[in-house]
Structures are given as structure tokens and as C-alpha cells.
Structure 1
Amino acid sequence: MGLQGLWLEGNTPDWMGDYHTDINLQMNYWLADRAGLSETFPAVADYCLAQLPAWSEVTQKQFNDIRNRYRNTSGKVAGWTVAFSTNPYGGLGWWWHPAGNAWLCESLYEHYEYTQDRAYLSRIMPLLKGACEFWEARL
């Protein structure tokens, strides 16, 4: 799921082997359904759901920080978003990537469209709702 995946050589990966929301995390799963590997997709949904509390907390605390060039000028913050780099421990590094939440949710929802699994849709609903709340406050 990380940048290098199974091709990682050694214990010092580039970019610390974290998960990047500007393309890398999503592209690892683009073909899962189309290639008949739908059973592999829940890994990214599980990751996002596990991170949701941390992503929400960090968004609420830091999104309007004056050092954040993506902050809302209105001062309103709701829901969650991510930074370019994330990790399994709830960390968000580098610059904010506000559209990363929408892009992740698009991938998550496309998996639902492919499988029509209502139980899965119920599981990811907090992610979809939080991303919508973020954009409602931002826009």
C-alpha cells in the first residue's frame, strides 16, 4: 500500500515508505476491481477508516494554522482532509492536500459502484460524510 510496496529494498525507503494522497495511494487500487481483485480493495478502506479519527482531529487543530497556505479564510473547519503524506500511525506530513479527501472518497465510492455492496457502503459512509462536511465548510 505504501510507495514502494513489495519492491522495497532494505529498511530505509524513500519518503519513509509512507502513503501519498496525491496519487500513490489511489493508483495502487485503481485496477483492483477491473482486474478481478476486488478482495484486495478493502485494505485501503480499512486504512482510511482506521485513520479517520486522527485525520479529523488534525484537520480540526491545524487546518486554519496561519502557516498552512491552504487554510480557510472564513475560519470554518468541519470534517476531515489529509496532507500529501500519511502513515499508519495517524501522521500527516508535508503540505496539506485538501482535495486528497475527495480523491480518496472517489476511489472508495467507485469500489461500491462496482460491487454494489451495501454493507461496504455503510462502512465507508463516515468517510464520505466527513469529506462532504469539509467541503461544505470550505466552499
Structure 2
Amino acid sequence: MSIKKHLTKMLAAPLAFCAATASSAEVAYFEFTDVKPEQTFVIQLTDKAKIQQARDILANGQADFYHVMGYVTPSPAPYNPRWQYHLDTDTISFFEFAIEVCDASMQYVQEHLDEVGGAFLPGNIWCPWSSKLVREVGVPTQE
């Protein structure tokens, strides 16, 4: 076998593995509410442990660790078109208690998006105290 063919095979195997791993990654969407129950926010989870944790929260009617927190990204996401921001999937977690400086309603974040990361929601971390995970949703579509 030529060196070129051998190198091609050696390089193709890891790429095939990465492609197979990426295509088998699970994606799940969950909805939460805050101070206004009629307002909802959709998050995307790709970490299997976090997806399972969210499903456990919903299945068990968990009274703690059902609040949602994460890093605010000031751009809309296709799965959450109502809002001009979304939570970075890799930073989402669930909490019981958090510091006051990261608390705000969905609407307040929307209205003050240009201030996120400064004195308002330092480090872009949002932890709405009144958030409550309410359901898993299918792949959301644009409104």
C-alpha cells in the first residue's frame, strides 16, 4: 500500500468516528416559565446528563433544583424565536438557590439586553429565581 493511501485511511477513521458521534448526539428542548406563567422560554440541551436531569425534574415534580440558569447570548435562537436572546446550551444548569445579582424576569432581560454583562447580569449569567421547568417540547418551529 502506498504511503498516501495509508495516510488517507489513518485520517479517515477518526473523522468517521467524529461524524458518527456527532450525528448520534441527543438534542432535547425544554420550556420554562417565570413570574408571568404565560411567558415561556425554550432551552436546548445536548448533554445527556443534563437532559436526564431535566426529565427527572419533570417526572418527579421536584421541589428543588428546577430553576434554570445559564449564560445569556444576545441573539435569537431558531428554537426560541420569541426572544432576542437565548441561553448558551453548554452553560445551562438547574439550581435551588442563587445570588440576587443574576435574577431577572424574561421580559426584563429582553428590555435591557444591551446592558447584559455589565452591572446587569454580570458575566452574562442569568438565574431567574421564579423560573420553573414545566415541560419538554418537540423541536420548536419559528412563529
Identify the TM-score tier after normalising by the shorter chain. under 0.3
Structure with max Cα Rg: 2
Higher strand share: 2
> 1 or 2 for the larger relative contact order (CA 8 Å, sep ≥6)?
2
TM-score (norm 1): 0.26
TM-score (norm 2): 0.25
